[in-house]
Amino acid sequence: MQTSLPVALSAQLAMEKRLDTIADNLANSRTAGFRAEEVKFESFISRAAAEPVAFASTGETYVSTRTGEMTQTGNALDMAVNGNAYFAVQGPKGPIYTRDGRMTISETGDVMSLTGVPFLDAGGAPLQVDPSAGPIQIARDGMILQRGTQIGAVGLFEMPANAKLTRAGTSGFTPDRPATPLLDFGSVSVLQGFTEGSNVNPILEMTRLIAVQRAFESAANFIETSERSLDSAVAQLGQKA
């Protein structure tokens, strides 16, 4: 049994998935709050042949939790998370968790994301302010004040350990387990007047892209050479027969 072809094909499938994630990361290298997608691969051993053969898995994606670059904007309606936590906005099927804290305030006082959905407090209720009460202040623990009076609090949430995150929109996620409202602000805080950029490193991703493209081409050349050798062997056997 010839094993070189299926092994090379498994490598190409794995590299194709890696190329897809790199392309998506590069496309969102300037997206606020975007978190890069990485891929981990495993080897599978097949014992169908005379000798064990290792195949590459197609890969399992996961979200990088590195913090993106913080930029001070001075805009009171911009906020960022300092630490490992997420804001929450209302999605069609429940909360969506995001690192993009750019806000707008509607005429009725609803605190909205730039995509037009409400930001949520720690209890999951939409945030509201008084649109006629002047500028808002946001404390490091997310408390919202207007004219020195506390009127609400921005919800911050922690993801469960080993939770699988599914993308919802450009920079949002929905976990496969419920997120937990943050109560301890010792290592996490809200930064008003800041935005968090994408955590994608464009130079690193471009380097990876070049390396994967070259590896993909090498695998394709190997498959082509292997097929020619097989065709030649079949032709020679046919002549002898």
15 is a domain residue: yes
Regarding whether 85 and 22 lie in a shared domain, the answer is no
Whether 120 and 152 have beta carbons less than 8 Å apart is answered as no
Rg of the chain on CA atoms, in Å: 25
SS3 65: coil
pLDDT score, position 1:
45
Instruction: Return the amino acid letter for 159.
Output: M
Regarding whether 187 and 74 lie in a shared domain, the answer is yes
pLDDT score, position 214:
86
203 is a domain residue: no
Instruction: Give me the sheet containing 149-153, strands edge to edge.
Output: 137-138, 143-146, 149-153
- Report how far residue 117's alpha carbon sits from residue 147's, in angstroms, rounded to the nearest whole number: 26
Regarding whether 177 and 96 lie in a shared domain, the answer is yes
Regarding whether 188 and 82 lie in a shared domain, the answer is yes
pLDDT score, position 215:
82
Regarding whether 217 and 184 lie in a shared domain, the answer is no
Regarding whether 220 and 127 lie in a shared domain, the answer is no
Q: Write the DSSP symbol of residue 142.
A: -
Regarding whether 36 and 74 lie in a shared domain, the answer is no
Question: What are the b/e assignments for 128-159, b being 16+ CB within 10 Å?
Answer: bbeeeeeebebeeebebbbeeeebbbbbbbbb
Regarding whether 231 and 147 lie in a shared domain, the answer is no
Regarding whether 84 and 117 lie in a shared domain, the answer is yes
pLDDT score, position 170:
84
- Return the closest-CA partner of residue 21 out of 215, 214, 163, 212: 212
187 is a domain residue: yes
40 or 118: which carries more pLDDT confidence?
118
49 or 39: which carries more pLDDT confidence?
39
Regarding whether 80 and 33 lie in a shared domain, the answer is no
Q: How many domains does the chain have?
A: 2
| Domain around 224 | 4-64+208-240
202 is a domain residue: no
Structure tokens at 13: 């499938």
- Report how far residue 201's alpha carbon sits from residue 40's, in angstroms, rounded to the nearest whole number: 18
233 or 142: which carries more pLDDT confidence?
142
Provide mean pLDDT across the span 133-150: 93
SS3 27: helix
Regarding whether 176 and 150 lie in a shared domain, the answer is yes
49 or 32: which carries more pLDDT confidence?
32
Regarding whether 177 and 137 lie in a shared domain, the answer is yes
153 or 238: which carries more pLDDT confidence?
153
23 is a domain residue: yes
Residues shown for the chain: 241
Q: How confident is the model at residue 226 (pLDDT cuts 50, 70, 90)?
A: low
Q: To 10 degrees, the CA torsion angle through 202, 204, 208, 211?
A: 120
Listed range (16-20, 177-181, 237-241) with the worst mean pLDDT = 237-241
Structure tokens at 4: 């070189």
Structure tokens at 211: 């390396």
Q: Write the DSSP symbol of residue 206.
A: H
170 is a domain residue: yes
Residue 37, strand partner residues: 63
Q: Tens digits of per-residue pLDDT, 74-108?
A: 999 999 999 999 999 999 989 999 999 999 999 99
pTM: 0.81
53 is a domain residue: yes
29 is a domain residue: yes
Query: Is it the case that residue 222 has pLDDT exceeding 70?
Result: no
* C-alpha separations of 42 from 22, 47, 117, 143, 182 in Å: 19, 16, 39, 45, 34
